[in-house]
Chains A and B, each alone.
Chain A
Amino acid sequence: MASAPPNPAAATARRPAPTVRRLAPLVIFALLALLPLASMLGLPGHWLTLVTRAMIFAIAALSLDLILGIGGLISFGHAAYIGIGAYGAGILITEGQTELLVALPVILLACAVFAAVTGYVSLRTRGVAFIMITLAFGQMAFYFAQALSAYGGDDGLTLYEKSTLLGREIFSNRTGFYYIALGTLAACYWLARRVVASRFGRVLRAARENAVRVTITGYDVNHVRLGAYVISGMMAGLSGFLLANQTDFVSPAYMSWSRSGELIFMTVLGGVGSLYGAILGALAFLITEDVLSSLTQNWKIIFGPLIVLFVLFTHGGIAGLVSKLRGRRDG
């Protein structure tokens, strides 16, 4: 593929046509909003839980796409923010504080601080070094959680209560939880779109293409990147908070480096830089994982090769495939 001569069709494969870009998210969110209806008509209730979980991971994948797809920074430690969000909820609940309005600011602040500090160090490097450093910081968070013996350590922490909003139990109803996850995802998507469309987002994208030129224009590239990194980390923390409330369990495994790898795969699966692609990628990933793991305990032996084949034979992920198909029809 790399040796193929550049042609206009290949160039558009990475960036979907404007109509697709505008329509695809609407279709996705409409379908997601209607899914609980299908479950009323007989779709097994298990699907509602599965798609809720997928939407929670979609928030994290979306946040990763913001720095990976738009900013061109491959963070291999993004699971750490899921972990901080989840542990934030878990520790507060264990200490008897279930109020969401207390937990969320604490979690968002913790994620912002962790992202600002580690981002500041990581962004001194480029390319592969950046991948490896973010990976190392992710591991640091992982080992820290493992050593938290007061909160379960290696075994993880079971939560006997869920977070509440002004004392009301908003997470106990399955359909209710579904719509909370959907609403959060939609809000994050809207926010990410706004960020990308803003002057800040344009500088971020320009810096991916040519950092030197952006610097000459008078912008501080590292400031912009760090800002995006912090926003992204906070968004991923939000997904960790929801995840802890869905599974009633928090464990260091939430931050393992393979989880970070899975998040990268979700964004790439959906199509890097398209934002809504990350949502599709997370859905596709978790549904495939669910189907395969119901077939065999050794599902990774099928899933691993699927990832390899996907990388070897496709470009631009699902979003790329969509516009490729369209391109073929149009041409």
Chain B
Amino acid sequence: MTLSLLIVQLLNGLQFGVLLFLVAAGLTLVFGVMDFINLAHGVQYMLGAYLAVTFVSLTGSFLLGLVLALAAALLLGLALEFLVFRHLYERDHLDQVLATFGLILLLNQAVKMIWGAAPLSVPVPEFLSGNVRLMDGILYPVYRFALIAAGLGVGALLWFVVEKTRTGMLLRAGASNAPMVSALGVDIRKLFMIVFAFGTMLAGFAGAMAAPILSVEPGMGDTVLILAFVVIVVGGIGSIRGAFVGALIVGLVDTLGRSSMNDLLRLFMAPASARATGAALSSMLIYLVMAAVLFVKPDGLLPAKGRS
């Protein structure tokens, strides 16, 4: 692998990590504050992408389409919160896992019926098309830079809201002791709804932003959901900082593993068997990393403070 390829792969890994962070942050926020396992979080990412497909082609403008898609994803999320999730907050984790699993079946099938099973795509917006020349011979798409910047921007905003605002203070307090916060006169139901809506919007945003560079298809949320799980387990459940570090690790390890495993194995294996083993190993690599992290630190790398 040459240096230029390595730089491109590092950027790809960073971009993938940022995307995973957006999904994982919502997932871990909802879990951290409400102790709620939402398997349907990945489906909300998928809905974000599909809504972006529809609204971008409807309005002809990427930005307008993105805003409308976000608004629609938010409304759908609130509707789900009202109809299903709100009745599950006080149930045990098994009930939450099951009910949200049912929602995945429903929404994946619904998406297939509405948009069809074939992959769809969104054109890269014109003002973000083209490439940036990093150095001689290395071009990198502007849109991917924009995605990294948007993801880091949202991450910074999230950090500001959680660490520096009053709402964030209540969130952190709610995460360590919800009944106490409620007893102090805070409307915990409303707080939960805000957290949930915010988490949904992050997932929807990630899906919509990913739409121009990934193929939009049914079940795309499932893959991301499981990767997001790995991210928050590696980072430490309920911790936003952990989700950020975990997402970058998973994004980089996965991308670099896929691009270099083949070459690496070829050093001491026949090309054909190196290709087969490489494919298997690179898919499994992040799970191996996760197992290794948990073996050393069962609570993840940066566990949330104040949780037992």
Query: What separation, in Å, do the CA atoms of A193 and B113 have in the docked complex?
Result: 44
Return the chain A residue nearest B295 by Cβ.
A121
Q: Does B177 contact A (CB under 8 A)?
A: no
Within 8 A of B (CB), among A277-331: 298, 300-301, 303-308, 310-312
With contact pairs A132-B229, A308-B102 given, residues A124 and B237 touching in the complex (Cβ less than 8 Å): no
Q: Does A76 contact B (CB under 8 A)?
A: yes
Q: Does A49 contact B (CB under 8 A)?
A: no
Within 8 A of A (CB), among B51-106: 84, 87-88, 90-91, 93-95, 97-99, 101-106
Query: What separation, in Å, do the CA atoms of A148 and B104 have in the docked complex?
Result: 28
Q: Which residues of A contact B128 (CB under 8 A)?
A: none
With contact pairs A121-B295, A133-B294 given, residues A128 and B237 touching in the complex (Cβ less than 8 Å): yes
Query: What separation, in Å, do the CA atoms of A331 and B106 have in the docked complex?
Result: 39
List the one stretch of B119-127, B187-195, B202-210, B278-286 in contact with chain A: B278-286
Please give the distance in Å from B40's CB to the nearest CB on chain A. 10
Query: What separation, in Å, do the CA atoms of A125 and B113 have in the docked complex?
Result: 39
Please give the distance in Å from B298's CB to the nearest CB on chain A. 4
Q: Does A89 contact B (CB under 8 A)?
A: no
Q: Which residues of B contact A308 (CB under 8 A)?
A: 84, 99, 102-103, 106
Q: Is the CB of A129 within 8 A of B237?
A: yes
Q: Is the CB of B284 within 8 A of A304?
A: no
Please give the distance in Å from B216's CB to the nearest CB on chain A. 19
Query: What separation, in Å, do the CA atoms of A135 and B222 have in the docked complex?
Result: 12
Q: Of A2, A147, A261, A303, which one neighbours B91 at CB under 8 angstroms?
A: A2
Query: What separation, in Å, do the CA atoms of A124 and B293 have in the docked complex?
Result: 11
Q: Is the CB of B102 within 8 A of A311?
A: yes
Please give the distance in Å from B233's CB to the nearest CB on chain A. 5
Q: Which residues of B contact A121 (CB under 8 A)?
A: 291, 294-295
With contact pairs A265-B101, A307-B101 given, residues A298 and B37 touching in the complex (Cβ less than 8 Å): no
Query: What separation, in Å, do the CA atoms of A310 and B93 have in the docked complex?
Result: 15
Type the 1/0 row for A72-86, where 1 means its CB is closer than 8 Å to any CB of B. 001010000000000
Please give the distance in Å from A152's CB to the nearest CB on chain B. 13
Q: Does A176 contact B (CB under 8 A)?
A: no
Q: Does A272 contact B (CB under 8 A)?
A: yes
Query: What separation, in Å, do the CA atoms of A30 and B94 have in the docked complex?
Result: 31
Type the 1/0 row for A117-129, where 1 means its CB is closer than 8 Å to any CB of B. 0100100110111
Q: Is the CB of B98 within 8 A of A265?
A: yes
Q: Is the CB of A144 within 8 A of B229?
A: no
Type the 1/0 row for A235-272, where 1 means its CB is closer than 8 Å to any CB of B. 00000000000000000000001100100110010001
Query: What separation, in Å, do the CA atoms of A150 and B272 have in the docked complex?
Result: 11
Q: Of B88, B105, B298, which one neighbours A124 at CB under 8 angstroms?
A: B298
**A interface: dominant SS:** helix
Q: Of A118, A136, A137, A150, which one neighbours B276 at CB under 8 angstroms?
A: A150
Q: Is the CB of A272 within 8 A of B94?
A: yes
With contact pairs A139-B226, A139-B287 given, residues A124 and B280 touching in the complex (Cβ less than 8 Å): no
Query: What separation, in Å, do the CA atoms of A136 and B112 have in the docked complex?
Result: 26
Q: Which residues of A contact B102 (CB under 8 A)?
A: 303-308, 310-311
Please give the distance in Å from B61's CB to the nearest CB on chain A. 32
Q: Which residues of A contact B229 (CB under 8 A)?
A: 132, 135-136
**Tier of interface size on chain B:** 35 or more
Q: Is the CB of B84 within 8 A of A74?
A: no
Query: What separation, in Å, do the CA atoms of A158 and B294 have in the docked complex?
Result: 38
Within 8 A of B (CB), among A129-153: 129, 131-133, 135-137, 139-140, 143-144, 146-150
Q: Is the CB of B101 within 8 A of A133?
A: no
Within 8 A of A (CB), among B220-242: 222, 226, 229-230, 232-233, 237
Return the chain A residue nearest B284 by Cβ.
A140
Within 8 A of B (CB), among A86-139: 118, 121, 124-125, 127-129, 131-133, 135-137, 139
Q: Which residues of A contact B276 (CB under 8 A)?
A: 147, 149-150
Q: Is the CB of B110 within 8 A of A301?
A: yes
Query: What separation, in Å, do the CA atoms of A137 and B286 have in the docked complex?
Result: 11
Q: Does A3 contact B (CB under 8 A)?
A: yes
Q: Does B108 contact A (CB under 8 A)?
A: yes
Q: Which residues of B contact A298 (CB under 8 A)?
A: 109, 112-113
Q: Of A137, A143, A150, A304, which one neighbours B103 at CB under 8 angstroms?
A: A304
Q: Which residues of A contact B294 (CB under 8 A)?
A: 121, 124-125, 129, 133
Q: Does B173 contact A (CB under 8 A)?
A: no
Query: What separation, in Å, do the CA atoms of A257 and B225 have in the docked complex?
Result: 11
Known: A133-B291, A261-B97, A308-B99. 14 other contacts (CB 8 A): A3-B90, A121-B295, A128-B37, A128-B237, A129-B299, A136-B230, A137-B287, A268-B94, A298-B112, A304-B105, A304-B109, A307-B102, A308-B102, A310-B102
9 contacts between A and B (CB under 8 A): A1-B91, A128-B31, A136-B287, A143-B284, A264-B97, A300-B105, A304-B103, A304-B109, A310-B98
Task: Name B's A-contacting residues (CB within 8 A).
Answer: 31, 37, 39, 84, 87-88, 90-91, 93-95, 97-99, 101-110, 112-113, 222, 226, 229-230, 232-233, 237, 276, 279-280, 283-284, 287-288, 290-291, 294-295, 298-300
